[in-house]
Amino acid sequence: MAGIYIHIPFCKKACHYCNFFFTTSTRFRETFVPVLIEEIDLRADYLKDEYVSTIYFGGGTPSVLPAKTIQQLIDTISRRFEVIDEPEITLEANPDDLSFAYLTSLKQTQVNRLSIGIQSFHEAELQWMNRAHNSKEAHEALENCKKLGFNKLSLDLIFGIPESTDEKWRYSMEQALEYAPDHLSCYALTVEEKTAYHTHIKQGKSVAPPDELTEKQFYQCRDLLLHRGYEQYEISNYAKPGAHSKHNTAYWEGIPYIGLGPGAHSYDGKNRGWNVNHMVQYIEGIKERKEIFTEELLSKSDRYNEYVMTAIRRKEGIDLHHLFKTHGEFEEHFYHNLKDIPQEYIMHKDGHVTLSPKGLIFADFVGSALFEV
- Residue 197 or 233 with smaller CB distance to ligand SF4: 197
Other Cβ atoms within 10 Å of 229 Cβ, number: 9
Max intra-chain CA distance, the chain: 59
* Residue 77 φ/ψ, nearest 5 degrees: -60, -45
- Which is closer to ligand SF4, CB of 60 or CB of 263? 60
Closer Cβ to ligand SF4, 121 or 334, answer by number: 121
CB of 14 to ligand SF4, least distance (A): 5
Minimal distance, residue 190 CB to ligand SF4, in Å = 12
- State in angstroms the smallest separation of the CB of 20 from ligand SF4: 4
DSSP codes, 173-218: HHHHHTT--SEEEEEE----TTSHHHHHHHTTSS-PPPHHHHHHHH
User: Of 59 and 181, which CB lies nearer to ligand SF4 in the complex structure?
Assistant: 59
Q: Which is nearer to ligand SF4, 88 or 156 (CB)?
A: 156
Length of the chain in terms of residues written: 373
Chain residues binding ligand SF4 by CB under 6 A are 11, 14-15, 18, 20, 22, 59-61, 94, 117
Burial class (CB in 10 A: 0-12, 13-18, 19+), 321: exposed
Can you tell me the distance from the alpha carbon of 41 to that of 228, in angstroms, rounded to the nearest whole number? 44
What is the closest distance, in whole angstroms, from the C-beta atom of residue 347 to ligand SF4 in the complex?
34
- Spatial neighbors of 12 by CB under 8 A, at least 6 apart, are 24, 61, 64, 94, 96, 132
- In whole angstroms, the minimum distance from the beta carbon of 263 to ligand SF4 comes to 11
- 221 C-beta neighbours (distance < 10 Å), count: 23
**In the complex, least distance from residue 196 CB atom to ligand SF4, rounded to whole angstroms:** 10
* Residue number, 263 or 359, with CB nearest to ligand SF4: 263
